[in-house]
C-alpha cells in the first residue's frame, strides 16, 4: 500500500481572519497534515508587504478550533519563535532567506532548545547543499527531533522558465545525506506560475518525495503576495487527484530492474574511464599551452566543441541544454586541470 503524501497547504500570506478561514474551510476535507499561512514575511526589497505579524496568530488558532487542523507558519527570528510557541502553533517552517544565514539559524535553534515541535527547513536561496544540511544539523544539535526539508528551488541569474530553478540533483543529494528526514516539494515557489505546478509536482512524486507544501488561496488573483503562484482549494483537490504516486520498489519487477541497473552501472564505469582519459589529454594540452605561451581559454575551440557536441546530442534525441550543462562542467574541470599543470 502506498504511503499518503505529507500535505502542507494554505495561503502564502494571512491577510484577514475571513481569508484564512475561507482557505481553511476549502481545504478542510483534504486531509492536510498542516494548514500553512505566513504572518511574518521576509521580503527581498523594502516597502513590500511583510505580513500581519502577531495579529494573525488568533486567526490560526481559530482554524485549529473550528476545523481541528494543525497549523504552521514561518519564523525568521527569536521573537517569531517565542510568539508562535506561546500561541500554540503546531509546526514552524524556516524560509529560504533565513536558511542561508547560519547566525539566524543558530539563534532559532537556541530558542527552540528543549522544545519538541516539528520544524520544516526550506533550502537556501542559493544552490548550496552544505548550507541546507548545516541548518538541519544545527536544529538537530538543539534537540529538535521532528524535522522536514522543503525543496523550493534556487535563485539562478538569467534563467526565465522558473521563478526558482529546481536543480533536482541537490534535493537528491540532500536525501542521500539525510535519508531519515522527510523531503517535501514546494512547486509554488519553484514555478511562480500556477499553470506549471502540476508538472513540477509530478516530477517530485516521480522522484519519491514524501509530500508537498503548496500555496492555496480562496481567490488567488487578489492575493496580497505571490498571486500568480497560488491556486484555489478546488484546484488543489484536482491537483492531488491528478498526481500519480509510484512505489519505490515492486517485488514483481525487481529482476528486470536489477538487470537494467547493472547495465547502467557498466555504462557509468565506462563514462568515468572516458572522463579520466579526456582529462589526461587535457593536461597534456595544458603543458603544450604553457610551453608555447598560449592562453588556457581558446574561445574559438571551446565554441567549436560546444556547437559540435550539442548538434551530435540533439541528433540522437538529447536535450541541447543537457549537453551544454555536461560540457560546461567538463570545460571548467579542464581549465582547472590546465591551470594546475601550467603552474607546476
**Domain annotation covers residue 1:** no
Give the end of a domain, one of 213, 242, 271: 242
Candidates 10, 195, 22; CA nearest to 89 is 10
CATH number at residue 278: 1.20.59.10
**Domain annotation covers residue 82:** yes
Give the end of a domain, one of 242, 262, 297: 242
Q: Rounded CA gap, 40 and 51, in Å?
A: 5
**Domain annotation covers residue 299:** yes
Reduce the DSSP state of residue 119 to 3 states and report it: strand
Q: Rounded CA gap, 148 and 117, in Å?
A: 11
235 and 256 fall within a common domain: no
Please give the tally of structural domains in the chain.
Answer: 2
153 and 281 fall within a common domain: no
Candidates 102, 110, 106; CA nearest to 131 is 102
Q: Rounded CA gap, 239 and 243, in Å?
A: 6
Q: Rounded CA gap, 166 and 10, in Å?
A: 21
283 and 209 fall within a common domain: no
49 and 164 fall within a common domain: yes
Q: Where are the beta strands (DSSP E) in the chain?
A: 6-10, 34-36, 71-74, 91-94, 119-122, 147-151, 183-185, 211-215
150 and 268 fall within a common domain: no
Can you name the residues that pair with 185 across neighbouring β-strands? 151, 212
209 and 332 fall within a common domain: no
**Domain annotation covers residue 116:** yes
Give the end of a domain, one of 191, 224, 242: 242
213 and 264 fall within a common domain: no
203 and 304 fall within a common domain: no
222 and 298 fall within a common domain: no
204 and 269 fall within a common domain: no
186 and 290 fall within a common domain: no
Phi, psi of 199 (to 5 degrees): -65, -45
13 and 158 fall within a common domain: yes
pLDDT tens, the chain, 344 aa long: 357 899 999 999 999 999 999 999 999 999 999 999 999 988 778 888 989 999 999 999 999 999 999 999 999 999 999 999 999 999 999 999 999 999 999 999 999 999 999 999 999 999 999 999 999 999 999 999 999 999 999 998 776 789 999 999 899 999 999 999 999 999 999 999 999 999 999 999 988 999 999 999 999 999 999 999 999 999 999 999 999 987 766 544 556 777 788 788 888 988 998 999 999 999 999 999 999 999 999 999 999 999 999 999 999 999 999 999 999 999 999 999 999 999 87
Domain of residue 74: give its range.
Answer: 6-242
Amino acid at each position: 500500500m502506498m504511503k499518503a503524501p505529507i500535505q502542507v497547504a494554505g495561503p502564502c500570506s494571512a491577510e484577514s481572519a475571513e481569508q484564512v478561514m475561507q482557505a481553511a474551510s476549502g481545504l478542510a476535507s483534504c486531509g492536510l497534515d498542516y494548514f500553512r499561512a505566513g504572518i511574518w514575511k521576509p521580503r527581498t526589497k523594502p516597502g513590500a508587504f511583510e505580513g500581519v505579524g502577531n495579529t494573525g496568530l488568533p486567526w490560526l488558532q481559530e482554524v485549529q478550533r473550528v476545523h481541528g487542523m494543525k497549523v504552521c507558519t514561518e519564523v525568521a527570528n527569536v521573537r517569531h519563535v517565542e510568539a508562535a510557541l506561546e500561541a500554540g502553533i503546531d509546526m514552524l517552517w524556516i524560509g529560504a532567506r533565513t536558511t542561508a544565514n547560519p547566525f539566524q539559524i543558530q539563534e532559532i535553534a537556541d530558542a527552540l532548545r528543549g522544545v519538541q515541535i516539528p520544524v520544516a527547513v526550506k533550502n537556501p536561496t542559493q544552490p548550496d547543499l552544505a548550507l541546507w544540511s548545516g541548518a538541519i544539523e544545527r536544529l538537530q544539535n538543539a534537540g529538535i527531533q521532528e524535522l522536514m526539508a522543503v525543496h523550493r528551488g534556487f535563485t539562478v541569474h538569467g534563467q526565465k522558465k522558473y521563478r526558482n530553478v529546481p536543480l533536482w540533483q541537490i534535493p537528491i543529494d540532500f536525501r542521500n545525506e539525510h535519508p531519515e528526514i522527510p523531503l517535501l516539494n514546494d512547486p509554488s515557489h519553484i514555478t511562480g506560475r500556477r499553470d506549471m505546478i502540476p508538472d513540477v509536482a509530478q516530477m517530485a512524486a516521480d522522484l519519491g518525495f514524501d509530500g508537498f507544501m503548496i500555496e492555496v488561496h480562496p481567490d488567488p488573483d487578489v492575493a496580497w503576495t505571490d498571486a500568480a503562484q497560488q491556486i484555489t482549494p478546488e484546484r488543489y483537490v484536482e491537483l492531488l487527484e491528478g498526481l500519480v504516486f509510484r512505489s519505490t520498489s515492486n517485488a514483481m519487477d525487481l529482476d528486470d530492474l536489477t538487470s537494467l541497473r547493472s547495465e547502467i552501472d557498466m555504462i557509468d564505469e565506462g563514462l568515468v574511464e572516458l572522463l579520466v582519459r579526456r582529462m589526461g589529454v587535457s593536461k597534456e594540452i595544458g603543458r603544450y599551452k604553457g610551453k608555447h605561451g598560449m592562453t588556457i581559454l581558446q574561445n574559438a575551440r571551446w565554441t567549436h566543441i560546444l556547437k559540435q557536441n550539442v548538434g551530435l546530442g540533439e541528433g540522437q534525441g538529447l536535450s541541447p541544454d543537457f549537453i551544454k550543462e555536461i560540457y560546461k562542467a567538463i570545460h571548467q574541470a579542464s581549465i582547472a586541470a590546465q591551470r594546475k599543470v601550467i603552474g607546476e
